[in-house]
Amino acid sequence: WAGGAAMLTGAALFAGFHCNELLMKLLARGDPHPLLFDAYAQTLPELAGADDAKGQAALRAFELLLLREIGLLPDLSLVTATQRALREDERFALRPDAGVAPAGAGDAGLPGAVLIGAQAALELGSMAALREVCAAALPGFKTTLRTLLAYHLGTPTLRTRQVMLDLQLL
């Protein structure tokens, strides 16, 4: 027992449910992932805070760590096809079927510096550093990770997201 849990309300409650749903769908029952569950415990208080941008950065950091821990995230500091190091001043896309690749004309992409920073934070095991990197490129990470998760889950919309969208229509 780690003490009292953060009380989530509103949008933060749905973000917490989102984390739960990802864990339930992407992990095998009883499969131990101590690092991942430690990160989950660190993410919940961040979601409970009043700052929505910090909560979104925490959610993106958790998603990145989850994908890495289950072996679905390539090395973010290398172009997957050629294994060459990313250039900080170029833009790259993170594709579910091809890994890290130079961003095409239709891709929003992420700056190489951001992906290199995310890889360094993942290697350090620092959720705080990963949240900081994610905060610097929230829209790009949100779109990229949504696509990546949908691909690996086999569904474009999680139940949590669908419930939130339905509530917004009310």
Model confidence pLDDT, tens digit, residues 120-155: 999 999 999 999 999 999 999 999 999 999 999 887
The number of C-alpha atoms within 13 Å of 152 and in the hemisphere containing its C-beta is 23
Instruction: Give the β-pairing of 110-111 and 99-102.
Output: unpaired
Paired strand residues for 1? none
Whether the pLDDT of residue 2 is over 70: the answer is no
pLDDT of residue 9: 82
Q: What is the pLDDT of residue 8?
A: 82
Residue 12 CA, distance from chain mean position: 15
- pLDDT one-digit tens code per residue, 96-126: 999 999 998 888 789 999 999 999 999 999 9
- The answer to whether 80 touches 96, Cβ cutoff 8 Å, is no
The whole-number pLDDT of residue 159 equals 76
The pLDDT value recorded for residue 5 is 62
Question: What's phi and psi for 146, nearest 5 deg?
Answer: -60, -45
pLDDT in tens, 4-50: 666 788 788 888 888 988 998 899 888 888 899 899 999 999 998 87
Distance from C-alpha of 141 to C-alpha of 161, rounded to nearest angstrom: 17
Residue with more model confidence, 158 or 117: 117
Using a 10 angstrom Cβ sphere, with 0-12 exposed, 13-18 middle and 19 or more buried, the burial of residue 26 is: middle
pLDDT of amino acid 3: 58
